[in-house]
Structure 1
Amino acid sequence: MLLSPKKIKYKKVKKGRLKKFNYKAHTLKFGTIGIKSIESGVISAKNIEAARQSINRKIQRNGKLWIRVFPHIPIMSKSLGVRMGKGKGSIHNWSAKITAGMILFEICGVVKEKAKTALNIGATKLPIKTKILSDI
């Protein structure tokens, strides 16, 4: 179940810039414990999926897991051996821009120690620095 949007307005998007901090999605909304990003970066759909699978495997599909990020930015690349020029290239993968302070995953309905170990394992699959945020 690799994440990608069903419908997009524009096929190719400019890279843009990353913001330093996020002031909107910085608190737990659904679960009691979650993963919060410490630094800004770009997370691919494969990273999100790998983290989701490892967290679900560790909590043995008990409780509920929320994914608070969605990869809606297309990453373009040209195939190997193609010369420079001739346009931008086709969609290689999908990614999400992450700002510092953003909540990435949330868990509810699992024992706190088990949830912490699951989120630690999930955080190792992500390419940015994260910390575990608890409501309990």
Structure 2
Amino acid sequence: MFSLPSARSLLATCRPPTSLFGHSPAPVAPLTLPFVFARFRSQLAPRRVKYIKRHKGVLPIPTGGATKGTTLAFGEYGIRVKGNGQRITAKQLETVEEMLKKKLKPIKGAKVYMRIFPDIPVCIKGNETRMGKGKGSFEYWATRVAPGRVLFEIGGVPIREELAREALRLANAKLPTINEFITRSSPARLGNLLLTPEPPVQAAAAAISP
């Protein structure tokens, strides 16, 4: 009685095709899946975090007298938070950075410096959802900025102040905070208070007087 060969015997008899010289062709790389687009995916995201969900937290308020991050460090012009602090999303920072680079593209060597980075995960639950049953799912990355914090700087090469003001004005329109234009000579800011430097003559007189 005629019987069909089994699958194991068929695999044993099958051999890869050989070329004219008797050598087997090079192995073909396996097919890879195409890139899957993720919702609210942005290039501004931390590489690694321990926990993807975190408490909401509060906005930082500089009450201890520290002025770090309120003056320029890399560029010649920049924008600084003038009003209350707020939470800025990664999408907003990415939009502002692309807009500044496009505006400064004719100037060869101009650079854009981002002084903040979105490293806080924001989780959101659906509308009209009952209380309980855990925290919402991850939505996007964000960062909290305090009053007086420098957000963006431009520099690298000499840039006319008129062009810098126009570029940073467009950047200010895409941010949710109230900002101000600053230069290298701008004083530090402690919250909403400007720290004007004391003149050297008065400082020396105060040190000499008993």
Give the TM-score, by structure 2 length: 0.60
Give 1:10's match in structure 2, choosing from 51, 63, 72. 51
Aligned to 1:37: 81
Q: Using the aligned pairs only, state the percent identity.
A: 35
Q: Which runs of 5+ in 1 are unaligned?
A: none
Counterparts of 1:19 and 1:96 in 2: how far apart (Å)?
11
Q: Which amino acid aligns with 2:89?
A: S
In terms of mean alpha carbon deviation, does 95-104 or 58-67 score higher? 58-67
User: Once the two structures are superposed, what CA deviation does each residue of 1:37-83 show, in whole Å capped at 9, x if it has no partner?
Assistant: 11211000011111111111211263011000000000001245654
State the Cα deviation string for residues 8-58 of structure 1 (Å, max 9, x = none). 122211112212236210110000100101121100001111111111121
Give the root-mean-square deviation of aligned CA atoms.
1.8
2:151 corresponds to which residue?
104
Amino acid at match of 2:61: K
Deviation for aligned residue 1:115:
1.3
Aligned partner of 1:134: which letter?
Answer: T
Q: Kindly report which structure 2 residues correspond to 1:52-91, keeping only aligned pairs within 5 A, or say none.
A: 52-60=97-105, 62=107, 63-79=110-126, 82-91=129-138
1:132 maps onto 2:181 in alignment = yes
Matched, 1:24 2:59: no
Q: Is the 8 A contact 2:101 2:111 kept in 1?
A: no
- Larger RCO (CA under 8 A, 6+ residues apart): 1
Unaligned runs of 5+ in 2: 1-41, 186-210
2:89·2:118 contact (CA, 8 Å) conserved in 1? yes
Q: Note the 1:114-133 alignment, pairs <5 A.
A: 114-133=163-182
